[in-house]
Amino acid sequence: MSYGPTPWQQTQWDWRAAGNFVCGGAGAGLIVFAALSGARGQALAVWLLGGLALVGAGLACVSLEIGRPLRALHVFFNPRTSWMSREAIVATLLMPVALVAATGLPGFEWLAAALALAFVYCQSRILNAAKGIPTWREPLLVPLIVLTGLAEGGGLWLVVQPAQAATQQPLLWLAAALVIIRAAVWLAYRRRLAGCAAAPALRTLDAAGRWLLIAGTLLPLLLLALLASGAIGAALAAPTMLVAGLLAVIAGSWLKFTLVTRAAFNQGFALAHLPVRGVPHRPAP
């Protein structure tokens, strides 16, 4: 079914649109963790440039969808009402600021982190503005997308330099807390969708949600707990960090990909009163 009262899956946004949310959110999260890490020199540059590369890859995915590339600049023309315009403006500011921060100029890493947060927030509002798709218009989708991006940033922080990450306990606790909060928001989001989203959308989301809860939440937390308790030796600390980070990133990315492509069912037509042939119209009293 592609048109009618039965919910149908949107086809305008495919893997290319999903790539923007997957790569852009994770890259923004990594930039935030780069600022929070307090790193300097080469380590800070690696994290910032890695985050920028992911944001750029996400925007490149979106550019593949443009039917008329010469009209791409039109995205900047409507920031008053369009979250997509706001995302593009924030990304335009984020790129040079993060590059300057990567050179080591003090203070710019915090400005880059603030712009990265604004970028992932704009992404969440882009989806939430599509009121015809129940899985997108749910208000809890906004914190879910933002938290997923930050949790992925924490996972990438563990992946890029796991040996250094093992020495920064506050950031490790923050990464673990983001994974837990993301799971809690997901459960609340899924509970709110019951009864309003199409059955195929719910089945698809449930499959991705199981990956998020098991592979993206329980397993990373278990690995970090074993590491903190001393059950895993120092020689295996870095590989353990890397695996935990990869699990958090992959599960979050799959959830966002599923949300954008496979679970995006339109609500269909909702007609409260259907006309019946031969029955005269009676105006309401």
User: In a 3-state reduction of DSSP, which class is residue 265?
Assistant: strand
Q: What is the pLDDT of residue 233?
A: 78
Average pLDDT over residues 90-107: 94
What is the band of 12 on the pLDDT scale with cuts at 50, 70, 90? confident
Query: Which of 79-83, 91-95, 206-210, 227-231 shows the lowest mean pLDDT across its residues?
Result: 227-231
Does 182 score more than 90 pLDDT? Answer: yes
pLDDT band at 67 (very low <50, low <70, confident <90, very high): low
DSSP assignment of 65-120: T-SSGGGGGGGGS-TTT-HHHHHHHHHHHHHHHHHHHHTT-TTHHHHHHHHHHHHH
Residue 4 clears pLDDT 60, i.e. is over it: no
Instruction: State the pLDDT at residue 1.
Output: 45
* Six token digits for residue 67: 């039917």
Instruction: Name residues whose C-beta falls within 8 Å of residue 204's C-beta, 6 or more positions apart in sequence.
Output: 258, 262, 263
Q: Which domains does the chain have, with CATH numbers?
A: 15-262 (1.20.1630.10)
The model's pTM: 0.88
Number of alpha carbons in the 13 Å side-chain half-sphere of residue 222:
8
* Direct distance between the N- and C-terminal alpha carbons of the chain, in angstroms, rounded to an integer: 38
- At 274 the pLDDT is 60
Please give the average per-residue pLDDT across 136-140, as a whole number. 95
Pair 98, 31: CB distance under 8 Å: yes
Lowest mean pLDDT among 156-165, 200-209, 220-229, 240-249: 156-165
Phi/psi at 127 (nearest 5 deg)?
-65, -45
The pLDDT value given to residue 39: 82
How is residue 8 written in tokens? 């149908």
Range with lowest mean pLDDT among 1-15, 103-117, 142-156:
1-15
